[in-house]
Structure 1
Amino acid sequence: MATVCTMTAITAPQPSAGRARLAALTPLLVDAALPLAGYYLLSKGLGVGTVAALAISSVPPALSAAWTALRRHRVNGLAALTLATTAAGIALSAVTGDPRLMLAKDGVVSSVIGIAILLSAAVGRPLMSAALKPMITKADPARMSAWDRLSRTSAEFRDVERGVSVVWGVALLAECAARVIGAYALPVATMLSVHSLFVIAGVIAAIKFSKSRVERMSALLRSA
């Protein structure tokens, strides 16, 4: 009987590495990448209005949040954050006529994300983990299992995990402040030409200052 069970276990079909990787990345793609890409495609590529583009691009995370709530009885943090950011963008897009306010708008939206990330770290459910987990574990089932285990049992791992979200939250708030100040301190033409640099600088700073924490998480995973 033991031999039969062993042979059954060996011959039972196992999920491929590619399928496991796709499953790990799907939430990040649906809740973050797809809405962002959809917004830029609609607004910049097809000329759809800002409010309409934001509303249409919010459909994937809205469906994801509803699915998670119904099937798993919990809140999908990344999808909820995307929806909150979209709502803020729609509300601010309703204010027109002031070019400086419109330039500052994207910075205010960034602040929504930054605050949400900081709050998630404070309550012990860091939102950046949704992006970090598939990248650090490379969607390897054993490493993903180790991540889940360390998140439950290792105080050091949880501290480092929260630390990454704190760095990103602070970086986004700093980017927001810089963008708002620039919108009112710099000439409109100058701000139009450099406003994307604020985002790039914020992302580079977040990556740089969270690098040591990400490396420590990788080391803990390897030793788990």
Structure 2
Amino acid sequence: MTTNTAPQRQSKKNNFAPLIMDVAVPVGSYYLFKNGFGMGTLMALGLSSVVPAVRTAWGAVKERRVNGLAALILFVNVVGLLLSFVAGDPRLMLAKDSAAGSAIGIGILVSVALGKPMMTAALKPWLVRGDTVKEAAFARLQSGSTAFRRAERVFSLVWGVVLFAECVVKVLGAYTVPVDTMVWLGSVIMVVALVLGFLVSGALAAGPMVGMLAAELKAAADRPAEAPTPAFAR
């Protein structure tokens, strides 16, 4: 039995491209401009905003839709740009990054409230793995399964709460913990938050969604093929 892998490769590329363009490119380019080329924070942040800005504008004008993830990253960068004008206080500089990052958690929570959980864009590629059959099953569950849609919301809700709480803790730490300690402690807090987010979202949402997707695939495989319509009945 031969399998055409070209559609799967294309589907996988379509799934991961938004994540790469909206997250990896802006974050990676920021550190490249700042640490690699020695640019200032303001210039590096401004240049790293170009890709999400172009994607957001392209989606709004050409495709007549707004890419939520791209718009959120752009918003975070704009907030960071505005806050970058405030300098001189090291504690304020530590709090600045957390305050800008809290926009991500807030944006995710708002997307849940609007019924369009944003973190699905990050979860779906890991569930379907570029497989068109799994993508079709995923779409059926999205449109017909209340439990599946609830799990989607829970997944985004967990990450929204975790990311927002992380930012709140880091802002409080910026003003209560010695600056030298908070420089490395901030990274520890971030790692702990990410681990917590993976564990909780996996147990409450991603795990059940994997099970529902497997059940839907099995049910689809067990369904009898639809008989062709006889020519005389057409």
Provide the TM-score with structure 1 as the length reference. Answer: 0.90
Distance 1:144 1:65 in 2: 25
1:170 deviates by 0.5
**Matching of residue 43 in structure 1 with residue 34 in structure 2:** yes
* Residues 71 and 145 of structure 1: CA distance in aligned 2, closer, same or farther (over 3 Å): farther
Distance 2:133 2:45 in 1: 38
Maintained 8 Å contact 1:160/1:216: yes
Distance 1:176 1:124 in 2: 24
1:44 deviates by 2.0
- Among 164, 167, 183, the residue aligned to 2:174: 183
5+ residue gaps, structure 2, are 217-234
- Among 147, 155, 158, the residue aligned to 1:156: 147
Distance 1:70 1:148 in 2: 26
- Among 192, 195, 208, the residue aligned to 2:199: 208
5+ residue gaps, structure 1, are 1-12
- Among 166, 171, 177, the residue aligned to 2:162: 171
What letter corresponds to residue 180 of structure 2 in structure 1? A
* Residues 190 and 14 of structure 1: CA distance in aligned 2, closer, same or farther (over 3 Å): closer
Bigger mean CA offset, 139-148 vs 177-186: 139-148
Provide the TM-score with structure 2 as the length reference. Answer: 0.86
**Matching of residue 143 in structure 1 with residue 134 in structure 2:** yes
Distance 1:66 1:135 in 2: 27
Q: How many residues align?
A: 212
Larger Rg: 1 or 2?
A: 2
Bigger mean CA offset, 81-90 vs 46-55: 46-55
The percentage of counterpart residues that share the same residue type is 43
CA RMSD of aligned residues (A): 1.4
Structure 1, residues 180-217: CA drift from partner, whole Å, max 9, x if none? 11111111111122221121111111111101210111
Distance 1:167 1:53 in 2: 31
1:83 deviates by 0.5
